[in-house]
Structures are given as C-alpha cells and as structure tokens.
A and B are shown apart, each in its own frame.
Chain A
C-alpha cells in the first residue's frame, strides 16, 4: 500500500493490525505524535487524515492507503515553526506539553474550516482533545492568536 506522509509518498506493507500510531512512532520514528490513553478517549495521538482529525491509536494504517497523513513533524520545525506552534509558545499554552501535538493538529483542522473562528467554534473543534494540566483557556487564546496571524500572513 501507498500513503502520503507529510507530503511524501511512502510504500509500506505492515501487518493488518498495525495502528497508525504504532506505524508513525515505531516504524517511522515520528515520535511527535504521543500515545496517551491508547483507546480513543483523550485525543493526544490526533493526526490529520486527508485533512480531518483522527485518533491514530484507533486508526489502522491500512485504512490510510491512498490517503494523506499529516503529523506535527510535517507542520513546522524548531527553526521554521508553524504560526500555530509560535502562538502556543507565545500564549504559554502548554504545561507538561504531552497533549500539545494533538491539540495543534486538531487546531489545524479548525482553522482549515474557518480562518476566523469564534471561541465557541474553537472549543467545539478541540473538544476531543483533553489537557490534564487544564491549559484549555490558553489553548483557545493560542488558536485565536494563530488565526489572526495566519489571516495577516495570507493577506500580506
């Protein structure tokens, strides 16, 4: 099977039971995607499949055949961070940081749907991503800040 991983085609033939999370972390070394509850109940392992948020712990990699997977590694780097990553830093929207990659990937999907979301839309869009440290208010502020920066960037 072939899938697109962070913009690049990848040919693989993993066992049928391989989850996307195991594939990313153990087969590809992409450890930015975190294993939280490992049962689709926390959102920490969120990645994008054809632009939609999915829990990689409960998505079989074979289901991604012919589709595009995007992880936090595909979004930005330390030297060239994505505006969402910059905004999370600027708003101090992390505490332990473990849920942050999933929060950011879910936020990418929110902003792809609406460049100027209301707080209600942001909260609804991130409602499947839990933060045990309770940074949700700062996360909402960070997404709002990133949305403004992205609108400026696209108009500038």
Chain B
C-alpha cells in the first residue's frame, strides 16, 4: 500500500478542515477504503478518522420519536441498537451485512459510501470507472450485476442498510467546510452508474455526518430479506426491504439490482397499500414492478428473485 498519514481529529470542525485539504479522505472501519487504495481507486496522502467524533459516534432519539444516527456509528452496534427498535427493517439489514468482523469494523457512513464490488472494477480491467471505457461486464461475467441499468456501469450496489433506509425515507446529513446539506437516500446515489469517482454525489470534502429517520417511519409493518449464494459472509444477489407505515402507505425497495438501492414504482406500492390482494394480483404486481428490468444475458435469474422477494414482502406487510 502507498504511504499516507493518519489524522485523528479533535473535533468535527477539525475533521472538516482536514478534509478540505487536497489528498485527504475520510476513513471509517477501513475495510472498503483500504481495498480501494490497494486497487488504485483512491490515493490519499492522509486519511481522517471519523468514528470517534462525538457528533458522528452517537444515536439520538428526538423528542418527536425521530432518530438521528451518527455517520460513524458501527454497523454491529446498529444491528442491536435499542434506539432502533421501532425500525426493525434497518436492524435486520445491518445484521445482514458481511460478517461479525465486518460489522464490528464498519460504520454506517462508510457502508453507504462504499464503492461497487464488481470484479472488473476491483481488478482494474476495462472499466470506465478505472480509466477505461465502457463496462466489461456487459459482454463478460455478470451474474451478480444489475438488472436495472441506469448508465454505463452495470455493477449492483452492495449496501444492505441503504435498501432499508430507502423504504424508511431516510435523509442523509452531509457536511463540509462549505456548509451542510440534507439529501434523500435516493439523491445520494443519483448518477451512480455514470460517476467515475464515486457511487454517491458526495464531493471530496464532504462527509456523512448523520442519517435521519422521521417519527412517521416508526413501527407499522416492516420486512427484510436478503438472498445470497452462500448464506453468510456474502453480498446480496437480491435484497428486499418493505414497510407499511402506520398511515397505511407502502414502500418497497430492492438491493443488488441497480447502481444504487432501487425503489419499486409508486403505483405498485399504492396497489399493495390498497390491500385485499389475492395470490394472482400479488403475482401481477410483482411482475409489474420489474417490468422495466433490462437484465444482461446471464443474470435474468435476478428478475425472478426480485419478483419472488416482492411477492413475499407484499404478503408480509399486507397482514
């Protein structure tokens, strides 16, 4: 690995000032960033530790029942956090991440900002995200790739928590020396398939300070499922998060199928919310949800998995 300095900031302001200098990158647990450095996707002269900054290290329940999760909070901690007992879909998604060690190492902000795990990208072969042109996966090996193409890159985003956060309408608080902005999770991954430098819209000096969950997203019916090849220590082939809010509205999202977490069409969610569905109509809804899928030659099986996952989610949250 090329050399770099390690900076443990004394405060959030200190961290943001350090990140405003060229060559600095934020680090969480390091499992993804250190891989990126070895693979040549990142070349920091200094990494800036975030996880011990108080504003990033805490989970806070607001007076109205909303929850603010610091971007540096560990995935293992989130998986069992009592503050998240009203958001079981997020706890389940965090439990599904990697392995016990990866969950103990990883932070929420780092998980959301991790790079794609496409083997062409990681091995620097013919990938437009690594100095090449086009996407080698299209004519190559793509069994794990996206079935909803949104641009040049066909990699599927690996984050499990991002899928749960999408159905919780989570908002991401992003900060730099230039100021603070709030992004919907969907907006965080906008343009992921065309962005060479990152899958998120974060600028180089910006960090995920916190993720905010609204009180309106508490409780109701919540569902999580992750389909993998080997059952553990694995990325999702397809993951599925679903919620029916206490106001009756429904949200369904999938992971492993697009460049970012993927949200089902609103008309499908509305039909699930309307209730009274029999087997046949649930099947038709799931098929409608994946109508726009554009699988590659070798990953159409993911369309079937996605439909099956949506059917199960619809049944679980309808009752």
Contacts and interface: CB of A to CB of B under 8 A. Distances in A.
Interface in B38-52: 38, 46-47, 49
B124 to A, nearest CB: 14
A16 interface: yes
Nearest to B39: A39
B31 A40 contact: yes
A125 B100 contact: yes
Which of B3, B47, B101, B102 has most chain A Cβ within 10 Å? B101
Contact of B30 (A53, A63, A65): A63
Nearest to B38: A39
Interface residues of B, number: 29
B2 A17 contact: yes
Interface string A44-61: 001001001111001110
B30 A128 contact: no
A128 B35 contact: no
A130 interface: yes
Given A40-B102, A128-B98, A60 B27 contact: yes
A118 interface: no
A55 B31 contact: yes
A65 B101 CA distance: 18
A34 interface: no
A125 to B, nearest CB: 6
**Chain A interface size range:** 20 to 34
Nearest to A49: B104
Contacts of B35: 39-40, 58
B76 interface: yes
B146 to A, nearest CB: 22
A74 B286 CA distance: 54
Interface in A40-85: 40, 43, 46, 49, 52-55, 58-60, 62-63, 65
Given A106-B101, A128-B101, A58 B232 contact: no
Contact of A60 (B30, B101, B104, B231): B30
Interface in A99-139: 106, 109, 123-125, 127-130
A52 B101 CA distance: 7
B1 interface: yes
A19 interface: yes
A40 B30 CA distance: 10
B34 A58 contact: yes
A60 B98 CA distance: 19
A54 B101 contact: yes
B31 A53 contact: no
A15 interface: yes
A50 to B, nearest CB: 9
Contacts of A130: 233
A64 B98 CA distance: 21
B202 interface: no
Given A16-B6, A16-B46, 15 more contacts: A17-B3, A40-B35, A52-B76, A53-B101, A54-B101, A54-B105, A55-B102, A58-B29, A58-B30, A58-B31, A59-B105, A60-B47, A63-B29, A125-B100, A128-B99
10 contacts: A16-B46, A17-B2, A40-B101, A43-B99, A55-B102, A59-B30, A109-B100, A128-B99, A128-B100, A128-B232
